[in-house]
Structure 1
Amino acid sequence: MPDPRTIGDLALEVRSKNAGPFWVTMELFMRDAEGYALVADPGFLDAPVVARLYGVPADTIQIFRIPALNVVKISFPRPVSQGSLRDRDIHAGQHHVPLALYPVAAT
C-alpha cells in the first residue's frame, strides 16, 4: 500500500450516522494499532480540529477513544435537527467525508 495520505487511507471504514435527531456520530475503524495510535492521539485529532472541519463549537464535541477495538468515535450536535426544512442529509450519512479526507503525515 502506498504511504497513507488521509485518515481514510489508514482506516477500514470511516462512517457517520445520526445519534438521535440532534446529534451526529462519526466512527473511525482503524486497520491496526499503529493507525489507531495516530488518530487517537489528542495532539493529532482533537476537538479544535473537528470544530474547524465541521463548523461547530469545540466545546460541544465529544471524542471517545476505544483502544481495544482500534476505534475513535466523535459526536457533536447536528447543525440543524434531523428532518427539518434545512436538513440536507437526513441520515447524516455524508458527514464523514471531511474527516476521512483529513491529511496525515506519510509513514
Structure 2
Amino acid sequence: MTDARTIADLAVEVRSKNAGPFWVTMELFMRDAAGYALVADPAYLDASMVARLYGVPADTIQIFRLPALNVVKISFPRPVSQGSLRDRDIHAGQHHVPLALYPLPASAPAAG
C-alpha cells in the first residue's frame, strides 16, 4: 500500500458530465468516509481551488457535499457553450482530469 497522492487515489470514481449546453458537473465518489472528509473539507476543496483549476470565476461555482453518499458534486458554467466552434469536449467527459489529479495534502490517508 502506498500513500495517496491525488484525489483519484482516494476515489472510486471521479467523473465529469454535460449538465446542459452551458454547465459542467463533476462528481467525486469517495471510497470511504475518511476520503470524503478530506475532499469535502472547505479548507481543502473550495470554489477558489476549482476556479484556479478551470479558469472560471469562483462566484459561479456550486459545490454540493453529500456525506451520506461520500460524494462531492461541483458545477460551473462551461468555458464555451456545448457544440460551439471552440468546444473541444461536447459531452464534458474529460473535464474531470485536472480535479482527479489534484494533489492531496501530506496528511491524507493511504489509498486502500
Compute the TM-score of the two structures, normalised by the length of structure 1: 0.98
Aligned to 2:7: 7
Per the alignment, in what secondary structure is the counterpart of residue 39 of structure 1?
helix
Give the whole-Å Cα distance in 2 for the aligned partners of 1:82 and 1:46: 25
Residues 67-86 of structure 1 aligned to structure 2 (within 5 Å): 67-86=67-86
Q: Percent identity?
A: 88
Give the whole-Å Cα distance in 2 for the aligned partners of 1:75 and 1:105: 23
| Two-structure CA RMSD over aligned residues (Å) | 0.6
Structure 2, unpaired ranges of 5+: none
Give the whole-Å Cα distance in 2 for the aligned partners of 1:62 and 1:105: 23
Aligned to 2:27: 27
- Residues 1-24 of structure 1 show CA distances to partners (whole Å, capped at 9, x for unaligned) of 311000000000000001111000
Q: Which runs of 4+ in 1 moved over 3 A?
A: none
- Residues 29-76 of structure 1 show CA distances to partners (whole Å, capped at 9, x for unaligned) of 000000000000000000000000000000000000000000000000
Give the whole-Å Cα distance in 2 for the aligned partners of 1:2 and 1:105: 14
CA drift of 1:27 comes to: 0.1
Give the whole-Å Cα distance in 2 for the aligned partners of 1:13 and 1:3: 18
CA drift of 1:105 comes to: 2.1
Per the alignment, in what secondary structure is the counterpart of residue 16 of structure 2?
strand
Compute the TM-score of the two structures, normalised by the length of structure 2: 0.94
User: How many residue pairs end up in the alignment?
Assistant: 107
Structure 1, unpaired ranges of 5+: none
Per the alignment, in what secondary structure is the counterpart of residue 52 of structure 2?
helix
- Residues 57-96 of structure 1 show CA distances to partners (whole Å, capped at 9, x for unaligned) of 0000000000000000000000000000100000000000
Per the alignment, in what secondary structure is the counterpart of residue 68 of structure 2?
helix
